[in-house]
Chains A and B, each alone.
Chain A
């Protein structure tokens, strides 16, 4: 079955540290890829998305992600995190043969000042 894996379940960083959250999917066809963020007490928001074109995608708040097709990966990065980045981050995929968004297990990021 198709799935989305996020290897880091809980990440703890100090402010200004660099961030990379892993995301891998298992599907051989075309995919649309997303990163969503859920700040404490708030609803899910879209950080960035990839449909086609440049595999390096820039999103809001300084986040970016790179789609590497050969590795089935879509890792999220930020060069310097802030305390306000503390949140739960979800990678998600839409497969080309469905309309359904499949979520990864999520990564909880805690940033300490």
Chain B
């Protein structure tokens, strides 16, 4: 299994600012992903964080708004840029356990934008 730690766990931010969420995995993993869970909705994949190369974004998400870093096999960051109240959501980091096909999730970062 993989244990995933995210920080911050929650934050309240002002419109127009940016926030970076950190994700640390306790073991080396190939695949890391960032999801968003908006209030009352399911999880939507934002992007796949690729180690050593640019992240792969899903339709509706762009690098300028959600820049992602993946400097090594255990760590990734997601930045939510120029925030608006519509960005209020829970952001989740996940990683695939080696060879298991199973995704493990962090506890999420609850972001509120005023």
**A→B interface (CB under 8 Å):** 32, 34, 36, 42-46, 49, 51, 90, 94, 99-106
Contact = CB atoms under 8 A, between A and B. Distances in A.
Given A43-B107, A43-B108, A99-B31, A51 B45 contact: no
Contact of B42 (A43, A99, A100, A103): A103
Interface of B: 4, 31, 33, 35, 41-45, 48, 58, 92, 94, 96, 101-108
A43 B106 contact: yes
Contacts, number: 45
Contacts of B44: 103
Contact of A100 (B45, B92, B104, B108): B45
22 contacts: A32-B101, A36-B105, A42-B107, A43-B105, A43-B107, A43-B108, A44-B43, A44-B92, A46-B102, A46-B103, A49-B101, A49-B102, A99-B31, A99-B96, A101-B45, A101-B94, A101-B103, A103-B42, A104-B42, A105-B42, A106-B41, A106-B42
A17 to B, nearest CB: 25
B48 A100 contact: yes
Contacts of B45: 100-102
Contacts of A90: 42-43
Contacts of B107: 42-43
Contacts of B4: 43
B76 to A, nearest CB: 15
A99 B48 CA distance: 9
A49 B58 CA distance: 24
A45 B2 CA distance: 12
Contacts of A94: 101
A31 to B, nearest CB: 11
B33 A100 contact: yes
Contacts of A32: 101
